[in-house]
Structure 1
Amino acid sequence: MVIKNNTSAQLVLGQLNKNNNKLSKELKKISTGTKITSAEDGASEYAVSERMRVQIRGLDQDVQNTQTGKSMLRVAEGGIQNIIEELRGLKELALNSANDHNSDLDRATLQKEFEQRCADIDDIVSSTNYNGKQLLDGTYARSHVIVNATEVEDLSSAGTIGASSSGTYTITANGCYQLQAGFTGNIRIASGVSEVELVGAGSTLSNVYINSNSSGLKLILKDYDVNNNSLDASSIQFAGSGNQLILKGENTIRSTGADPRPADSAIINMADGLTISSGDDESASLIIEHAGLNGAAIGIGRGQSTTGDLNIQNGNIIINSRGRDHLIGAAIGAGAWGTIGNINISGGTILIDQNPTSGRRVYWRNGAGIGSGAGGTVGNINISRAEISIMNGEGAAIGSGHAWGTTYVSKTGDISVDNSILTLRSGLGAGIGSGYAERDGSHQSIVGNITVDSTILTATVGSRVEKIGRGRNGTVGNVTVNPGVPKLNDYTDWQPLVFQVGTKANQAINCYIEDLGLKSLGIDKTMITTRDKAVQALAEVDGAIDYALDQITYVGSYISRLDYTAANLTTASENVTASESTIRDADMAKEMTEYTKSNILTQSAQSMLAQANQNSSSVLSLLQ
Structure 2
Amino acid sequence: MSLVVNHNLMAMNAARNLSATYGRLAESTQRLSSGMRVNSAADDAAGLAIREIMRAEIAVLNQGIRNASDAISMIQTAEGAMSVIDEKLIRMKELAEQAATGTYTTAQREIINSEYQAMAAEIDRIATATDFNGVKLLDGSLRESHGGSGLKIHFGTGNSSDEDYYYVQIGDMRATKGTGLRVGNSDLRDTLRTTALNVSSPDDVMQDTASATDGLFGIRFASDFDSESPGNANWDVYGYVNIDASRDSLNSIVADINKGRQATGTLTMTQLTGGGSATDDISTQSLTINGQIFTFATGAGTGTYNGTLGTGVINLTTTNYSATSVAWDTAAFLNAHSASIGVRAVSDGSTLHMFASEWGEGGNTIETVSGTTAMVMGQKTLEHGGEEFMTSSVYYDENNEEYELQIQMNHGGEDYQLQIFNLTTMNGTSDIVGGTIAGTSMGGTWGGVLPINDDPTSVLSTYGSTDEESEWIQAQNGSGNTDWDGADILTQSAAQKALAGIDLAIRKKDTARANLGAIQNRLENTITNLQIQAENLQAAESRISDVDVATEMTQFTRNNILAQAATAMLAQANSLPQLALQLLGG
User: What's the TM-score, normalizing by structure 1?
Assistant: 0.44
User: What's the TM-score, normalizing by structure 2?
Assistant: 0.47
Structure number with higher strand proportion: 1
Higher relative contact order (CA 8 A, sep 6+): 2
Larger radius of gyration: 2
